[in-house]
Amino acid sequence: MKKLLFTITALLFSMVVSAQDIFDNASLHGSFQTDVQFYRPDAAIGIYDSTIAGRKIGINGFTNLTYTLGKFKAGLRYEALLTPLAGFDPRQEGNGFPNVWVNYNTDFIEITAGNFYEQFGNGLVFRTYEEWTLGYDNSMNGMRVVLFPTKGLTLKGVYGSQRFFWQKYERNNRGLVRGADAEFSFNDAFSKLDEAGLRLSVGASAVSRYQRDADPIYKLPENTGAFAGRVNLGAGNFNFMTEYAYKINDPSAINQFIYSNGQALLSSFSYSQKGLGVMLQLKRVDNFSFKSDRAETANALDINFIPPINRMHAYSLTAKYPYATQPNGEMGMQFQLNYKIPKGTPLGGKYGTGISLNFSQVNDIVRDTLDKEYRGTLGYKSDFFKVSDHIFFRDLNVEVEKRFNSKLKGVIQYMNLLYDIAVIEGHTGEEAVKANLAVADFTYKFNSRNALRVEAQGMWTKQDEGDWAALMAEYTIAPKWFMALSDQYNYGNPDPDKRNHYYTISGGYTHESTRIALTYGRQYEGVVCVGGVCRQVPASSGFTVTISTNF
């Protein structure tokens, strides 16, 4: 009897612990962020009570939750933009669960049902992603299957409809997207390549969009296909990557309803070794906007992603004139050199000095218009290798980074910019902006916890708003506190009434992954007329509170 009891107890115990063990593999993680802005009238920068029109508070917030149980995962995102912050598309106003998904993941197959994000190659024919700071989310709502049939081969298949703000998919209110991608990595399949120091992988994708033709004026193709092929080749310190994409006739609002096919090419060569990195990138885009809704002109419903190949800037003035890809046509190049002067040498100093050089230029393509009528015709012919004389964008950056002693280090940057504001921001008729900029960013550590960072910037130009100067001082007490004061002063504006100070005072507290920040000040305005639509991003003034956490 005792033995039986003992056996049963032992069995039950092991069962209970095993059952708990299944749930030991279970976890719930998530994140939360909310931004609240209080707007106040500010006559100096043109904000009156009528501009605010009663919308005194803007609140953006979202929460992500992921539940993991062994090979299964389920997640959702709740968003509430009531009302969206200034600068966000007003159609984002709403609340609900725009993102819900379930995922099953094994070594052979991975399935996602619900909303998902995916990228084929570099994204030239398919990329769904989200960037909440820009209010961008083109997630696919459908199914995604990934197969790993043999070592080195990855097959992906997707289908669904894309997110369009809060509008649910209803029959014919936008297009449907389906796609497939195959990637083969020779290194994973054949280990001999690793030994030879070679790396090779190839990939191919095909994506198609279906949208009904209910247009009484044009005969529109209901199924539009785009294809891409890519190669990634590496040998030792060298790397070469190229992707070519082709799109069959896709008359849309962006390309003014022409019936010509589109092409895109992205290539890069790079060499990297310890202390030295060199990179050259080339790009050609010809009629390559690809959206779920051919009539959409806003920054939404893009099926693909054409990467801009110029440097992303990290300071407020250097980032004032950012380049935006022109999907209708551009020829671009970018060259970058990173070098670290070794420590101990006369130029390098005690700690070494970092030098970075970056040059990029984007021109228009050459077009031979076929029909003066343009809309509803084959549009134009464009020679693949010809580059137009019209420069959309050009920038040259030289950056030197040095640590002087254990307390002081800094960065100095010089930038020269040519920015065709008429094309990039749609300010038709305005002269291209030619500017010289300089930035000095120094950090001084008082002791192991306290540091002061001072940033001084200047922009000198005769166009658009004229000269700017910016100064920022940030005091940090690691690891929790920061306080900052900053001002951007448009002292060179041709209109004396517009020579404003855009000041902000901010401070915050960070504990592990929870962050609370307060900012008070003025935000700059903008007018953008791209994609066939003109939009005004209003200036704003007031308090902003940001709270975010992770669990």
Partner 1 sequence: MKNIFHLPAILLLLSLSFSGCDKIEPPFKEGGGGQVTNDTRKILLEDYTGHTCVNCPGGARLGHELVHLYNGQVIMIGVHAGYFARPKAAPFDADYRTEAGTAWDNFFGISAAGNPMGMVNRVNNQGAYNVTAANWATAVGQAAQEKAALSLNIQTTYNSTSRNLKVELESKVIHPLDNKLMLIACIIEDSIVSAQSNNDPNVGATPTIPDYVHRHVLRGSINSPWGEELAAAGQATANATFSKTYTLDLNSAYNDQHVSIVAFIYDDTSKEVLQVEEKKIR
Partner 2 sequence: MKKLLFILLLLVPMSHLFSQESQLPKVNIKTLNGQSFNTADIKNDGKPIILSFWALWCKPCQKELDAFNEVYEDWQKETGLKVVAVSIDDSRSTAKVAPHVKGKGWEFEVLLDPNGDFKRAMNVNMIPHTFLLDGNGKIVSQHTAYFDGAEQELYQKVKKLVGKK
| Minimum CB distance to partner 2 smaller for 117 or for 503 | 117
Name the DSSP class of 50.
H
- What part of residues 227-246 is at the interface with partner 1 (CB under 8 A)? 227
CA angle 200, 126, 193 (to 5 degrees): 5
Q: Residue 96 in contact with residue 83, Cβ under 8 Å?
A: no
Report d(CA 224, CA 229) in Å as an integer. 17
Which of partner 1, partner 2, none interacts with 279 (beta carbon under 5 to 8 A by kind)? partner 2
208 binds partner 1 (CB under 8 A): yes
**Does residue 162 contact residue 292 with C-beta atoms inside 8 Å?**
yes
Using the rule CB under 8 A, is 352 a contact of partner 2?
Answer: yes
Question: Which of these, 289, 300, 290, lies nearest to 329 by C-alpha position?
Answer: 289
Residue from 80, 473, 529, 547 touching partner 1 (CB under 8 A): that is: 529
Which of 147, 202, 418, 471 is the binder for partner 1 (CB under 8 A)? 147
Q: Taking contact as CB under 8 A, which single stretch among the options 267-275, 276-284, 293-301, 463-471 is the one that binds partner 1?
A: 293-301
Helix (H, G, I), strand (E, B) or coil at 473: strand
- Using the minimum distance from each CB to partner 2, give the nearer residue, 24 or 213: 24
Binding status of residue 404 toward partner 2 by CB under 8 A: no
Q: How far apart are the first and last CA of the chain?
A: 50
Identify residues 66-105 at the interface with partner 2 (CB under 8 A): 66, 68, 73, 105
Q: Which of 8, 13, 347, 371 binds partner 2 (CB under 8 A)?
A: 13
Using the rule CB under 8 A, give the single segment among 126-134, 150-158, 385-393, 458-466 that binds partner 1: 150-158
Interactions with partner 2, residue window 120-159 (CB under 8 A): 122-123, 127, 129-130, 132, 146, 154
Residue 534 CA to residue 320 CA, distance in Å, equals 19
526 binds partner 1 (CB under 8 A): no
Q: Which residue matches tokens 């708003």?
A: 465
Name the binder of 535 from partner 2, partner 1, none, CB < 5-8 A by kind.
Answer: partner 1
Q: Is 498 helix (H, G, I), strand (E, B) or coil?
A: helix
Segment interacting with partner 2 (CB under 8 A) among 232-240, 294-302, 364-372, 423-431: 232-240
Rounded to 5 degrees, φ, ψ at 90 are -60, -20
Please list, residue by residue across 445-484, b when 16 or more beta carbons sit within 10 angstroms of its beta carbon and e when fewer do. beeeeebebebebbbebeebbbbbbbebebbbeeeeebeb
Q: Which of 114, 135, 308, 466 binds partner 2 (CB under 8 A)?
A: 308
Site for partner 1 in 158-187 (CB under 8 A): 165-168, 170, 173, 178-180, 182
**Closest approach of Cβ 215 to partner 1, in Å?**
5
Q: Does 143 bind partner 1 (CB under 8 A)?
A: no
In the chain, the amino acid numbered 329 is G
